[in-house]
Amino acid sequence: MKKKLTAIIVGAGHRSIVYATYALEHPEDLQIVGVADPSPLRRERIVKLFKLKPEQCFDSAADLASRPKLADFIINGTMDQHHVPTSLPLLAAGYDILLEKPFATHEAELTELVRAARKFGRKISICHVLRYTPFYAAIRNEIVKGTIGDILSVQAVEHVSYHHMAMGFVRGKWNRQDQSHSTMLMAKSCHDLDLITWMKSGIPPVKVSSFGNNFFFRPEKAPVKAGTRCLVDCPIEAECDYSARKHYIDHPERWAMYVWTDLEHIEHPTIEDKIASLKGSNPYGRCAWKCDNDVVDHQSVVIEFADGCTATLNMIGGSARLMRSIHLVGTKGEIQGRFEDSEFIIRHMDLRPGHEYTEETVKLNVNEDTSGASGGHGGGDVRMVADFVSLLRGETPSISSTSIEDSVAGHLLGFGADCSREENRVVPIDVSAI
């Protein structure tokens, strides 16, 4: 019989709950035995969901770390700026950690956490859930098999949907770097930077440059006559594409876990409750052009690797349809696909008379949520937790397994790209210095 593992949730937000529900679906593998969060309401939610006792609840990671070790590992889903401060005492207390991305908000933090994991001999896996999806895992398998030879170019694109952009990076938690401590590139697309470095695994990046800005969501670009709050003083709300009513009332389940935090004390808030919230101090009721946001709404990144390969990532916020795509060109062929289609094409040169190239379509036949709005990520969330459980049991890690060491290169690229964007220069990257 395989050993059942135990875990404690630190930071009882949306992402932690998504990962922890693995214990409800696979009780033979994992049991949630505690929660640490400063919010009594959020602690109570976890108590009900996992049938915990009062003595299994803690108001902080520091309080939990001061007690004798109570579980095999921690699911750390705190906000970005709290990842390192909460993880350090837990590592010292003997816990392995499944840690939400980005695992640090600047290079000094990154270095501190990596070295602490080494010092205490603990395992940290970073929640780069896209690695665990059938789409990206299958592509990586093709690279490992040598299907397209040595990679000389990687082109990745992330289109962030208009409603995700408005929720997260204009009105919401990640709209200001001084509050979330993460740029939009790191908060939203460090997944994609990780995928690029994973496809080139074993060959480090050495340079990065980047350009981007807040092009659209600025006061001077607000529609004529726009008010400051959609449901309070805006005469054009009914015609506006970014109406809070259209985004959050007409689509009641979309981003509900973020938009209605001020109604957490109400078990089943009514439409009237929600409208009153948007009319009041709820930040999601603000005009999308008249918020206090200072992060970019689009950014382009150019990368050079040690072997001369180049890569690009284009992150564009405000698209009609969310989309991730990747195109890898190698010395023997190429792979191209769109994540949401759950299939990709493998092309090779064809020198026969009358031919130019061959194409093979790899259909993965996966019909899973890819929106992220409900935490689906193409099935990657559940597979990632299962992989971490297997890793802690001493089983062979999967091809997708993401130790903190594996995640360093992508994070350094993100920090370097933002430095390049702000300082208008090419930034060197030295993974070996960490």
Assess whether 55 and 187 both reside in one domain. no
Sign of CA dihedral 188, 191, 194, 199: negative
Decide: 123 and 285 in contact? Cβ < 8 Å. no
Q: What is the pLDDT of residue 2?
A: 85
Q: Is 224 domain-assigned?
A: no
Assess whether 367 and 416 both reside in one domain. yes
Question: Is the predicted pLDDT of residue 351 greater than 90, yes or no?
Answer: yes
pLDDT digits (tens, 9 = 90+) for 325-344: 999 999 999 999 999 999 99
Q: What is the pLDDT of residue 267?
A: 87
Percent of all residues in the chain with a pLDDT value above 90, rounded to a whole number = 93
Measured CA angle at 247 (ends 245, 250), to 5 deg: 65
Nearest to 227 by CA among 293, 166, 288, 169: 288
Assess whether 72 and 187 both reside in one domain. no
Q: What is the pLDDT of residue 377?
A: 55
Q: How many domains does the chain have?
A: 3
Q: What is the pLDDT of residue 397?
A: 87
| Euclidean distance between CA atoms 63 and 423, whole angstroms | 40
Assess whether 31 and 180 both reside in one domain. no
Assess whether 326 and 192 both reside in one domain. yes
Q: What is the pLDDT of residue 371?
A: 45
Measured CA angle at 167 (ends 285, 239), to 5 deg: 55
- Average pLDDT value over all residues in the chain: 95
Assess whether 251 and 334 both reside in one domain. no
Assess whether 136 and 120 both reside in one domain. no
Q: Is 387 domain-assigned?
A: no
DSSP-assigned letter for residue 391 = H
Sign of CA dihedral 58, 60, 61, 62: negative
Mean pLDDT of 57-61: 97
| Euclidean distance between CA atoms 332 and 329, whole angstroms | 8
Decide: 307 and 221 in contact? Cβ < 8 Å. no
Q: What is the pLDDT of residue 28?
A: 96
DSSP-assigned letter for residue 325 = E
Assess whether 356 and 426 both reside in one domain. yes
Nearest to 217 by CA among 159, 157, 294: 294
Q: Is 134 domain-assigned?
A: yes
Task: List helix spans (H) across 105-240.
Answer: 107-120, 134-145, 162-164, 177-180, 184-199, 230-233
CA dist list (Å): 146 to 314, 332, 364: 26, 9, 20
Q: Would you state the structure tokens that stand for residue 187, as one six-digit string?
A: 């908060």
The pLDDT-based confidence of 374 (bands split at 50, 70, 90) is: very low
Nearest to 171 by CA among 272, 13, 289: 289
Decide: 143 and 199 in contact? Cβ < 8 Å. yes
Domain CATH for 35: 3.40.50.720
How many helices (H) and strands (E) the chain has is answered by 16, 15
Sign of CA dihedral 390, 136, 343, 338: positive
Q: Decide: helix, strand or coil at residue 403.
A: strand
Q: Is 42 domain-assigned?
A: yes
Residues facing residue 78 across a β-bridge: none
Host domain of residue 250: 230-285
Q: Is 45 domain-assigned?
A: yes
Assess whether 111 and 21 both reside in one domain. yes
Q: Is 225 domain-assigned?
A: no
Given 251, 266, 285, the domain boundary residue is 285
| Euclidean distance between CA atoms 186 and 52, whole angstroms | 34
Q: Is 386 domain-assigned?
A: no
| Euclidean distance between CA atoms 313 and 299, whole angstroms | 8
Q: What is the pLDDT of residue 373?
A: 41
**pTM, two decimal places:** 0.94
Assess whether 252 and 300 both reside in one domain. no
Given 126, 148, 183, the domain boundary residue is 126
CA dist list (Å): 59 to 36, 69, 132: 5, 16, 32
Q: What is the pLDDT of residue 365?
A: 76
Assess whether 104 and 170 both reside in one domain. no
Residues facing residue 155 across a β-bridge: 312, 327
Decide: 178 and 413 in contact? Cβ < 8 Å. no
Longest Cα–Cα distance in the chain = 75
Q: Is the peptide bond preceding residue 283 cis, with omega within 30 degrees of 0? A: no
pLDDT digits (tens, 9 = 90+) for 123-171: 999 999 999 999 999 999 999 999 999 999 999 999 999 999 999 999 9
Q: Is 390 domain-assigned?
A: no
Q: How many CB atoms lie within 10 A of CB 2?
A: 10
Higher-confidence position of 371 and 157: 157
Q: Using CA atoms in the order 135, 137, 142, 144, what is the torsion angle rounded to 10 degrees? A: 160
| Euclidean distance between CA atoms 134 and 383, whole angstroms | 10
Assess whether 62 and 162 both reside in one domain. no
| Euclidean distance between CA atoms 410 and 27, whole angstroms | 33
